[in-house]
Structure 1
């Protein structure tokens, strides 16, 4: 009975994992009307750090020497991952909707591939090149709202362009994260250290907004948004991903990340009342297949078959 309950829990967490990640843009979109972007990012990652610290404390102590030796890299990662991909995302959400942001941000996976080709000489196969082209055309369709005349007239939405910048920043973050100097540090303490560095980078910007602009959150709705971003979009998303990798393996878990765009769009429609336009459908029909073509390995896992095999009750040989 216990084994069956554990299997159900693990499969449920795997299915919910991309939902937790995609909640960031939806909660953030709702929160930026009452909370300043740098304040929202700083408080999100500070609360997340406090939640992660008890889980990562022993790992942080064990690897403190390596972490201290790489403090500059940690600050850069904190700036890119929690600063640009935190505060600037929330700033962008004041000028665009969560649906656009979700679909544009998805292109970061393709940008990682391009950066590794440019700076690490990683070969791009024809299938991957086609995927890159499809994904970028899909992003262009979304940014231009399906109207090429906007490009000719330079009528581009500032929020969409900022989200594209944030997607690029996340790609740079992901490439830097693979540097050999940090490979000996387990994922949980490393992520916690980066979160701390990100909060530190955001601190002076938060101080300006909170003190000079007198914009410190004071309403229950604001603090509920911050709590949701810290717990659901940060800690719960990260831990469910880590649990998925541990139980099902990185291949199967990674496949579920392709659910981020449809999950994000669905959340935006349900909780924010956003409309799904024809250009969104066309962009999604280009971005998602493009992302899969570009990033799927040549021999990729079959997630449903893997889950069925894993979830099948094991016979002990006793009647």
Structure 2
């Protein structure tokens, strides 16, 4: 019995590692496919693929739970806007102007930004570790953005991709805090399904204005990967890990994202990992760990 419990615990620790690996690969996919499809197109196709896969399993349940969906209608709409449209849409846009390595580093800021957003939304006062860690991480981020030279930050035109990615991550922090604030009593997969449906609706005005790129041999693999693995499989693994390990312990694994992303981007896209990435990355990581010390903020990842 003891061996069975031990084995289960080891598998539980593997779940968030696999989820973060999937999300890290998706950042590199996002950067790769930027040359072959517009941001609004891949964002729409991603959620369309996920919606079509879930529909046979969830449509009947959604029909039966109409009253529950109506009860949380506005909240589902807000969660979808922040977590699926603003975050992912801006990330696809950022991919046109920055590297996958930088995107992975910035993505690791979710726990720190969550503490800041919790102050705004939940009125949770951060402790001194959170404040010091947040400042330290931000300095490390500026060091990476400036490629080891803070004065180059004055040339804003060279850093638009990083700035857009910062906004994307900031919006995702709102998503996590809203999840915590509202504590929706809705089955997780049903919640995901309804949010995806809202995401598709949100894309329609952008498609009407900007048009929709066709799926072809250059982008089909990236679209399918984005619609299946980071949209469905990774969130499911993450949810199970949160149930097994708890949200606080699970959230620590997000710090692996910059490392995984840098390795994948180096192998696939030949992006180099430089000295300023190492120094800035270490400063950011130390700041993030410090910011979470004795912090009551819990990070939730679903998309």
Assess same fold via TM > 0.5: yes
Question: Aligned partners of 1:11 and 1:108: how far apart in 2?
Answer: 20
CA contact (8 A) 2:94 2:160 kept: yes
Residue 272 (structure 1) aligned to one of 264, 269, 293 = 269
CA contact (8 A) 1:129 1:294 kept: yes
CA contact (8 A) 1:142 1:283 kept: yes
User: How has the CA–CA distance of structure 1 residues 236 and 151 changed in structure 2, closer, same or farther, with 3 Å as cutoff?
Assistant: same
1:44-103 deviation per Cα after TM superposition (whole angstroms, max 9, x unaligned): 011112223345446534543232233333223222222221222111101111001111
Compare 88-97 and 74-83 and name the one that shifted more.
74-83
Aligned residues: 294
- The answer to whether residue 187 in structure 2 is matched with residue 186 in structure 1 is yes
How far did 1:170 drift? Answer: 0.8
1:200-257 deviation per Cα after TM superposition (whole angstroms, max 9, x unaligned): 10122234444xxxx5224223111000111122111111112223344434433322
- The answer to whether residue 287 in structure 2 is matched with residue 285 in structure 1 is no
1:253-302 deviation per Cα after TM superposition (whole angstroms, max 9, x unaligned): 33322212211111111111101112211221111221122124469xxx
Residue 300 (structure 2) aligns with: none
- The answer to whether residue 226 in structure 2 is matched with residue 229 in structure 1 is yes
Residue 200 (structure 2) aligns with: 199
Q: Considering only CA atoms, is the larger Rg found in Structure 1 or Structure 2?
A: 1
CA contact (8 A) 2:119 2:125 kept: yes
| Structure 2 unaligned spans of 5+ | 297-303
| Structure 1 unaligned spans of 5+ | 300-319
Residue 116 (structure 2) aligned to one of 114, 132, 136 = 114
User: How has the CA–CA distance of structure 1 residues 270 and 55 changed in structure 2, closer, same or farther, with 3 Å as cutoff?
Assistant: farther
Question: Aligned partners of 2:291 and 2:58: how far apart in 1?
Answer: 34
Residue 70 (structure 1) aligns with: 72
Matching of residues 87-126 of structure 1 within 5 Å: 87-126=89-128
Matching of residues 1-319 of structure 1 within 5 Å: 12-57=14-59, 60-61=62-63, 63-180=65-182, 183-210=184-211, 215-297=212-294
CA contact (8 A) 2:145 2:153 kept: no
Q: TM-score, normalised by structure 1?
A: 0.83
Question: Aligned partners of 1:133 and 1:2: how far apart in 2?
Answer: 43
Question: Aligned partners of 2:179 and 2:12: how far apart in 1?
Answer: 27
Question: Aligned partners of 2:232 and 2:199: how far apart in 1?
Answer: 15
